[in-house]
Structure 1
Amino acid sequence: MSTPSSPSSSVTSSANIPARLDRLPWSRWHWRVVIALGVAWVLDGLEVTLVGSLGSVLERSDTLALDAAQVGWSGSLYIAGTVLGALLFGRLTDRLGRKRLFMLTLALYMAATLATAFAQDFLWLAVCRLVTGLGIGGEYAAINSAIDELVPARVRGRVNLIINASFWIGAALGAGLSLLLLDPQVLGPALGWRACFLLGAVLAVAILLVRRHVPESPRWLLMHGRHAEAEAVVRHIEAEVAAQHGALPAAPDSGHAQPGGGMMAWREIAQVLLHRYRQRSLMVALMMVAQAFVYNAIFFTYSLVLTRFFNVPDHRVALYIFPFALGNVLGPLLLGQLFDTIGRRRMIAATYLLAGAGLAATAWAFNAGWLDARTLALCWSAVFFVASAAASSAYLTASEVFPLRMRAMAISIFYAIGTGVGGFVAPVLLGWLIASGDPHAVAAGYALGAGLALLAGGCAWRWAVDAERRTLEDVAEWKN
């Protein structure tokens, strides 16, 4: 049993900072960090849902008069922006710091969302969606890096999954906003869709104010040789946690050297991804592609399926988002702790395989004409109960199985691969299949997503890393 001590008497060597962070009890300080940073997923969920819920509204002559293909393109351009933003801001996150970038990317998102509310035609909307995606893509790299580096190892899995599930809180918020504001008794379609985006920008302003109090990652400071600053940040955190929980246990010796060295060069990054951790790279890429295709294929075009195949009125589409969002929130919330107890490999493989099987069954039922709008929503709720945990585990894996010196860049690269291949293609492909009016073609698109999920599950069973309850420095070594 460790001997209790005050923060000032804890091991103060900067080399032991990771162990000092990992041994902290969960506290109000951790909650504040998780809420301030995790809201990034709420914003992404809000954006995706608004486009999904408003897709059919934007086809109306009294709005932007888009066609189904343009609705699909607006979704794909948003995804393209997230890919470019992840690559650009991911590199800057490793260079300039986690905090600078999660403030900058949120400000960019806020400005672009505000501009979207004033779009007059497809070109304006398309540019705004692209820039909004730039901000959200940068958020993924900066936020995932910061959260993993500040959260204790013993709960890193469940916390990461639950935070990613907050995407669906944003989804429910977006659905609620569209349901309320599109109602003819409130604003109606012509003005309601603009008000939805305006409120998204207002939410971003509130988050900016909260994030000012989140510190820079001590691990990042160590990486850049700023040991005194890292020590000061950790002392402040320890003091705040101790004020809530009393004397803290002494931190064990981590056994890991903590050199500086700054960011890795591109040549070093390529060596890590393509040689040293080649199997990890292939597995993470497949996980990212599968989850991006499944989510973007279904969600960005959901309103079009409901209105074209099931004759759901435009202003009632959002009602069918709620059961979808509920399944997505409950999955990581209830399954998240199992990723820290049963373990990463078993749970990642199980969730991907179950999601693929469920999606295949839904595609078969849709193709057979057995579903209506209500039963389709229930099917998606069940499928995405496990698919949401699977998708969240992809981001968790990308953020914890590569060295700290390239962590944000690794997240960015795999996010770009998965989202670029799966996310960009899926809305355009499904939009085109829906426009054909053939339910068999749409079912084939769903079946393709099922196949990708099953493939990713098989690879995870073989290659996933048993990273549960292990410090980040132990999961991926510092030196090449």
Structure 2
Amino acid sequence: MTDPDTAATDAHLLETLANLRWNRFHTIVVLLFGLGWALDAFEVTLIGNVLGALRQHFHLGSNAMSFILAAWFAGLMLGASGFGILSDRYGRRRVFLASLVLYGVATLATAFAPDLAALMVLRLIAGIGVGAEYAAINAAIAELVPSRSRGRASAIVLNFWPVGSFVAALLAWLVLSALPADLGWRVVFALGGAIALSAAWFRRHLPESPRWLIEAGRREDARVIIGRIAAGLTDATTLAPAPVVQRVRREVNGLRVLLRHYPGRLALGAVLDFAEASGYYGLFAFLPIVVLPALHLPPARLPLFYLAGSVGALIGGFAAASLLDRIGRGVTVAGFYLATALALIGFAAITGMGAGAIMLGFALVNLLATGSWIAAYPMFAELFPTSLRATGIGASVAVGRIGAALSPFLVGYVGARSMPAALVMLAGFWALGAVAVLVWRRRGGIEARGLALEQLAVEPARYV
């Protein structure tokens, strides 16, 4: 049980952290986390860009391509759920450094994959690394920035995703156009792995989350880091390893605690992530699995579709970042999800107009889809208490990756019979997310705009 003096000290430290003025530290944190997130996007988008080349090299059918994507999503699910728990036990910093190294090494090794089985195993491992990023980065950025800027800062970090997607598409297009397809995809993976490992070197300067340190009983370490943050310093302080044994025992049933005390919050996170992951990755699988064979396009043309989509995504992401702290989380998220569903129905109506119309339709839908998930992550990530934040994010993302793994198979099956029907199916996933937000708000779900994280973690009501 915490004594009054200790509780007062914790409250003072947390209040100081929440009310700091934005300074050089916060800007660099956003840039370094954003760089890592861009590389995650690079990794995720990379497989879609080279899937046409892999199809030729390994003589794959649509089911085999779906299995490559499914291996990747299975890795994401394992990484998000497993490393989310580890991030709450051992700290954010250990996980967001290990995640970059893990998927960087796996991606670099993919360039030398001798056969399809090895490629799928390496995709699984790289997916675990990226899944770890989902939990650790979203928890860390929410805990390190001032309350009044939390939504915008989180969204800006996530908005590096379309930047990474654009670079992946551009690189894949240039390399696949300049080199033989059998060599080009290997070069693209090698470059992606090298860039990821370089980013890990820069990220090592970031400190541990003071909120996590306070939860671990390391108040003096937290005080030192908060002082350095207030001074705008970015170099990580050398600290002794955390006393983790007590935390392992305390948090081993973290998911059970969330289910018992925060079921509405966990349900909201799981449904939002399931809806966006099913819809978003289904949309990206739609191009190589359905569009490419139907229009008889060469693999080198596929990155052009992703380039157009990345431009749209960048616009959508910045729109979400500007709205979260202005009009609130609920309205922004529900509006984007609903708009994405309607845009997919409109996209379905123009699929018979040729490659140009499909490219424009994909760019518009990707604009709205990216704005949707960039708004959704800050919304549900900040609702979990600090001691369980990464576990809650990881559990939500893990549920979402189930939809992401199934979606390519559904898109391939339905799309082989009707392109418009596949897009209408994806619209249904996004509509599910909009409904989840409306139910959350109707049942008294909290609006987090402008509130400190500690205000959001008060004893929950019956449903939220």
TM score, norm. by length of structure 2: 0.90
**Amino acid corresponding to residue 218 of structure 1 in structure 2:** P
Shift of 1:190: 1.4
Please name the residue that 1:206 is paired with. 198
- After superposition, residues 31-430 of structure 1 pair within 5 angstroms as 31-60=27-56, 63-183=57-177, 186-240=178-232, 262=247, 264-265=250-251, 267=253, 269-273=255-259, 275-366=260-351, 369=352, 371-420=353-402, 422-430=403-411
Between the aligned partners of 1:65 and 1:50, the Cα distance in structure 2 is: 19
The 8 Å contact of residues 158 and 336 in structure 1, kept in 2 or not, is answered as yes
Please name the residue that 1:247 is paired with. none
Between the aligned partners of 2:136 and 2:79, the Cα distance in structure 1 is: 11
**How has the CA–CA distance of structure 1 residues 118 and 301 changed in structure 2, closer, same or farther, with 3 Å as cutoff?**
farther
**Amino acid corresponding to residue 53 of structure 1 in structure 2:** N
Q: Secondary structure at the match of 2:58?
A: coil
The 8 Å contact of residues 348 and 423 in structure 2, kept in 1 or not, is answered as yes
**Amino acid corresponding to residue 29 of structure 2 in structure 1:** V
The 8 Å contact of residues 258 and 392 in structure 2, kept in 1 or not, is answered as no
Between the aligned partners of 1:119 and 1:298, the Cα distance in structure 2 is: 27
**Amino acid corresponding to residue 453 of structure 2 in structure 1:** L
Between the aligned partners of 1:216 and 1:298, the Cα distance in structure 2 is: 36
Shift of 1:479: 9.2
Which of the residues 424, 439, 455 maps onto 1:462?
439
Shift of 1:268: 5.5
Shift of 1:165: 2.2
Between the aligned partners of 1:377 and 1:388, the Cα distance in structure 2 is: 16
Q: What percentage of aligned pairs have identical amino acids? A: 34
Between the aligned partners of 1:155 and 1:19, the Cα distance in structure 2 is: 15
**How has the CA–CA distance of structure 1 residues 433 and 120 changed in structure 2, closer, same or farther, with 3 Å as cutoff?**
farther
Q: Which moved more, 1:22-31 or 1:145-154?
A: 22-31
Please name the residue that 2:22 is paired with. 26
**Amino acid corresponding to residue 383 of structure 1 in structure 2:** V
**How has the CA–CA distance of structure 1 residues 158 and 71 changed in structure 2, closer, same or farther, with 3 Å as cutoff?**
same
Shift of 1:49: 1.8
**Amino acid corresponding to residue 409 of structure 2 in structure 1:** V
Between the aligned partners of 2:455 and 2:90, the Cα distance in structure 1 is: 24
Shift of 1:460: 0.5
Q: Secondary structure at the match of 1:401?
A: coil
Please name the residue that 1:256 is paired with. none
**Amino acid corresponding to residue 70 of structure 2 in structure 1:** S
Shift of 1:353: 0.9
Between the aligned partners of 1:155 and 1:138, the Cα distance in structure 2 is: 24
Shift of 1:86: 1.1
Q: Show CA shifts across 1:48-67 (max 9, x none).
A: 2221111111122xx33322
The 8 Å contact of residues 75 and 127 in structure 2, kept in 1 or not, is answered as yes
Please name the residue that 1:445 is paired with. 422
Please name the residue that 1:477 is paired with. 458
The 8 Å contact of residues 357 and 450 in structure 1, kept in 2 or not, is answered as yes
Shift of 1:162: 2.2
Q: Which moved more, 1:357-366 or 1:45-54?
A: 357-366
Between the aligned partners of 1:338 and 1:433, the Cα distance in structure 2 is: 35
Between the aligned partners of 1:269 and 1:194, the Cα distance in structure 2 is: 39
The 8 Å contact of residues 278 and 406 in structure 2, kept in 1 or not, is answered as yes
**Amino acid corresponding to residue 66 of structure 1 in structure 2:** L
The 8 Å contact of residues 404 and 478 in structure 1, kept in 2 or not, is answered as no
Aligned length: 439
The 8 Å contact of residues 350 and 358 in structure 2, kept in 1 or not, is answered as no
**Amino acid corresponding to residue 224 of structure 1 in structure 2:** A
TM score, norm. by length of structure 1: 0.87
Q: Which moved more, 1:355-364 or 1:166-175?
A: 355-364
* Structure 1: gaps of 5 or more residues: 1-11, 243-260
Between the aligned partners of 2:227 and 2:293, the Cα distance in structure 1 is: 59
Q: Secondary structure at the match of 1:352?
A: helix
Between the aligned partners of 2:10 and 2:318, the Cα distance in structure 1 is: 34
**How has the CA–CA distance of structure 1 residues 335 and 138 changed in structure 2, closer, same or farther, with 3 Å as cutoff?**
closer
Between the aligned partners of 1:16 and 1:383, the Cα distance in structure 2 is: 45
Shift of 1:303: 2.6
Q: Secondary structure at the match of 2:231?
A: helix
Higher helix share: 2
Shift of 1:266: 5.0
* Structure 2: gaps of 5 or more residues: 1-7, 235-245
**Amino acid corresponding to residue 333 of structure 1 in structure 2:** F
Q: Show CA shifts across 1:177-196 (max 9, x none).
A: 1111111xx32211110000
**Amino acid corresponding to residue 424 of structure 1 in structure 2:** A
Q: Show CA shifts across 1:125-167 (max 9, x none).
A: 1001000001000111111111100011111112212221211
Between the aligned partners of 2:196 and 2:459, the Cα distance in structure 1 is: 35
